[in-house]
């Protein structure tokens, strides 16, 4: 089993311990900066609509475009790092992210702001898998779980804390400032990375050709994911046509990828049952993480009438649980197995969603939020460590890119479906039939969505046994 593609990352030429810690900190802080941008914009949607006189659906393009761009550029991370070196790509893309964030902040045009937002997402799509690869590659196998628990803090804390931080900035500085919240941590990561990232991570390898047809088809798939809910508001028939078009494009994408040696999604990786399990869990995790981050505060305030201050305090409690569980998960992974940790995380999250579907008392809601965050904190270290243990020799770089792509793709799909289901009268009727909530209540549709997410995570539990 090979878990290290670039052995020079751990030779006698490796940095001293302090520099190694600085390099890890650079990767974690850089990831935190770009991931936080995924959710901070949600707080600025309402004032943005008022200033530019646009509809809610148009303003939501800022979230959709960001997520879509991360899905499209995640596969580029492996190719770019081989062609120009992981260190140069990390530093260059992080600098581009900071410049795009400042451009969005000071833009006077809605269109230019939207384009800068898309560039933010494109940078985030490269930074996440690249940072993850460097963390896994630098850590010895017996400490990969702990390394991933540290890295996981940046992945899961950023979307959890982002809206809280953004809320203060919107109230005291202005909604445009939400675009540049990631700039200070990005600049800190740039400084740490410049001095601490090992020069061995700058080595170039044979870049090879890139699968541009596969990327074009993936772009069509992502566009259809976000276009279908919009079409459903106008015509169910049009939405059905787009769904069929998506299925046809997915089939064509599969055929094209199987025929190419430089495939965007290397099929050699999927030959491993363990990697297939990690891929399926990653999709479910992305849908649950981004979906719950969006839906829980809306559910608590809009459906249950819980005050904003109380909602914020409960979410803060969940953030503390998230940090503690992520830290603990890495140690448990190294001592026991990735499979057990991932299974525990999925079970916690499924239970949390079941509580949110049925419970209405504040105490049980708080318990559910804490369980939800514990589940999220457990999955990331176990998922990526388990992937590193089962990936084909020489495939760690591509493996991290594919798993990240699927996680972001699951998030994009989950957010789109949640938007459709919460607005659906059928979801509200189903909630009444299942006894989740009265069919006419504001909690009916969200309760159905939570129940559906719980079932999704229970289904994901069925494939975890294939991890090690």
Of residues 230 and 11, the one with the higher pLDDT is: 230
Tokens of 136: 């896994």
Would you state the pLDDT for residue 87?
Answer: 87
Per CATH, 12-198 and 268-468 having the same topology is answered yes
Tokens of 377: 């904190």
Maximum CA pair distance of the chain? Answer: 67
Q: Which of 467, 448, 452, 451 is nearest to 344 (CA)?
A: 467
What average pLDDT does this structure show over 365-376? 90
Would you state the pLDDT for residue 12?
Answer: 39
Contact 218, 72 (CB under 8 A): yes
Contact 132, 404 (CB under 8 A): yes
Measured torsion, CA atoms of residues 37, 43, 44, 47, in degrees rounded to the nearest 10: 180
Q: What class is the 268-468 domain?
A: mainly alpha
Cα–Cα distance for residue pair 201/296, rounded to 1 Å: 40
As a whole number, the mean pLDDT across the chain is 79
Would you state the pLDDT for residue 346?
Answer: 93
Of residues 343 and 47, the one with the higher pLDDT is: 343
Q: What's the CATH number for 12-198?
A: 1.20.1250.20
Return the SS3 of 11.
Answer: coil
Contact 390, 275 (CB under 8 A): yes
Cα–chain center distance at 338: 20
Cα–Cα distance for residue pair 356/5, rounded to 1 Å: 43
Each domain of the chain, given as residue ranges in start order, spans: 12-198, 211-261, 268-468
User: Is the overall model pTM greater than 0.85, yes or no?
Assistant: no
Would you state the pLDDT for residue 116?
Answer: 93
pLDDT, one tens digit per residue, over 377-414 is 888 888 878 887 777 666 777 788 788 888 888 887 77
What average pLDDT does this structure show over 242-254? 91
pLDDT, one tens digit per residue, over 165-202 is 887 887 788 888 889 999 999 999 999 988 888 766 55
Res. 268: pLDDT tops 70: yes
Reported as a pLDDT band with limits 50, 70 and 90, residue 206 is low
pLDDT, one tens digit per residue, over 314-344 is 877 887 888 788 878 877 877 777 888 889 9
Would you state the pLDDT for residue 17?
Answer: 53
What letter does residue 205 receive in the DSSP assignment?
-
Contact 214, 257 (CB under 8 A): yes
Cα–Cα distance for residue pair 238/53, rounded to 1 Å: 27
Q: How far is the CA of 400 from the CAs of 3, 126, 282, 379, in angstroms?
A: 12, 11, 11, 15
Cα–Cα distance for residue pair 199/357, rounded to 1 Å: 51
């Amino acid at each position: 089993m090979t878990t290290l593609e670039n052995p020079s990352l751990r030779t006698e030429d490796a940095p001293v311990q302090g520099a190694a810690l600085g390099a890890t900190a650079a990767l974690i802080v850089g990831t935190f900066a770009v991931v936080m941008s995924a959710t901070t914009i949600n707080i600025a949607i309402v004032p943005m609509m008022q200033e530019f006189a646009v509809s809610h659906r148009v303003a939501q393009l800022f979230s959709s475009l960001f997520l879509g761009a991360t899905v499209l550029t995640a596969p580029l991370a492996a190719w770019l790092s081989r062609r120009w070196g992981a260190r140069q790509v990390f530093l260059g893309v992080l600098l581009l992210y900071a410049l795009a964030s400042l451009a969005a902040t000071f833009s006077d045009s809605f269109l230019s702001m939207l384009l800068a937002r898309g560039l933010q997402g494109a940078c985030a799509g490269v930074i996440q898998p690249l940072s993850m690869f460097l963390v896994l590659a630098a850590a010895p196998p017996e400490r990969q779980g702990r390394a991933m628990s540290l890295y996981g803090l940046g992945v899961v804390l950023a979307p959890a804390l982002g809206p809280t931080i953004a809320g203060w900035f919107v109230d005291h500085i202005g909604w445009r400032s939400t675009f540049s919240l990631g700039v200070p941590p990005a600049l800190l990561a740039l400084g740490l990375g410049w001095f601490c990232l090992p020069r061995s991570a700058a080595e170039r390898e044979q870049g090879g050709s890139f699968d541009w047809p596969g990327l074009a088809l993936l772009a069509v798939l992502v566009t259809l994911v976000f276009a279908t809910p919009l079409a459903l508001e106008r015509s169910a028939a049009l939405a059905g046509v787009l769904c069929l078009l998506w299925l046809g494009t997915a089939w064509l994408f599969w055929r094209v990828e199987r025929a190419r040696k430089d495939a965007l999604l290397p099929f050699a990786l999927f030959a491993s049952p363990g990697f297939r399990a990690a891929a399926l869990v990653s999709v479910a995790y992305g849908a649950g993480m981004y979906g719950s981050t969006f839906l829980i505060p809306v559910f608590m305030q809009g459906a249950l009438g819980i005050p904003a201050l109380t909602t914020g305090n409960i979410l803060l409690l969940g953030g503390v649980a998230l940090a503690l569980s992520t830290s603990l998960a890495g140690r448990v992974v190294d001592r026991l197995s990735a499979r057990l940790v991932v299974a525990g995380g999925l079970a916690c999250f499924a239970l949390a969603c079941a509580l949110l579907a049925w419970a209405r008392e504040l105490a049980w809601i708080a318990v559910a939020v804490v369980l939800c965050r514990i589940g999220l904190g457990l999955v990331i270290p176990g998922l990526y460590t388990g992937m590193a243990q089962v990936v084909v020799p020489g495939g760690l770089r591509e493996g991290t890119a594919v798993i990240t792509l699927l996680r972001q793709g699951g998030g994009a799909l989950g957010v789109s479906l949640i938007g459709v289901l919460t607005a659906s009268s059928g979801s509200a009727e189903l909630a009444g039939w299942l006894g989740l909530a009265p069919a006419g209540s504001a909690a009916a549709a969200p309760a159905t969505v939570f129940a559906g997410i719980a079932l999704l995570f229970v289904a994901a539990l069925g494939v975890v046994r294939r991890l090690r």
